[in-house]
Amino acid sequence: MNALMITLRLLHILGGVLWVGMMFFSTFFMMPAIGEAGPEGAKVMAGVMRRRLPQIMPVTALVTILSGAWLYYRDSAGFQPAFMHSPMGMALGTGGVLAIVAFLIGVIVIRPNMMRAVALTQEAMQAPAAERESKMAQAAAARARGHTAELLVAFLLILAVAAMAVGRYA
């Protein structure tokens, strides 16, 4: 195995572990806790934003996807149909497609809704009492849309990881 393959596998596996781990932590622990905290959850979300999670997660996902695509290209000898139609090729390819769909949902649905929720919550904190309730309700609705998409992405990533884990043995 050459240095390029070792580097690609390292990027793909570490990136995947981080992406899926961050997604699961966010979906099942952090976001529900922030929602339960009400207006005080905005402080936690602000801390998360300062630590640049909304920028780090998509970059991690993209590194995972690109390194995986490169590995798939090399394993398939340039996307040769014989490999791509083999059980291993189909398992790895399916996992890759699921990860790409999860990434797109994250970028197109989750991130904008979560950024909107943060902005609305910050506006609500500065708004007069009469407007605060409305802005908080809008923020909660954006968080709920984002959380529904997070659940879908978490499910897709579980399927992608399962496909990758068993792909070599299919």
Q: What is d(CA 70, CA 4) in angstroms, rounded to the nearest whole number? A: 10
Q: What is the pTM of this model?
A: 0.91
* Host domain of residue 163: 3-167
Q: What CA–CA distance (Å, rounded) separates 68 from 66? A: 5
Over 70: is that where the pLDDT of 1 sits?
no
Angle at 12 between CA 10 and CA 16, to 5 degrees: 115
pLDDT, tens only, 104-144: 999 999 999 989 988 898 888 888 988 888 998 998 899 89
Total domains, the chain: 1
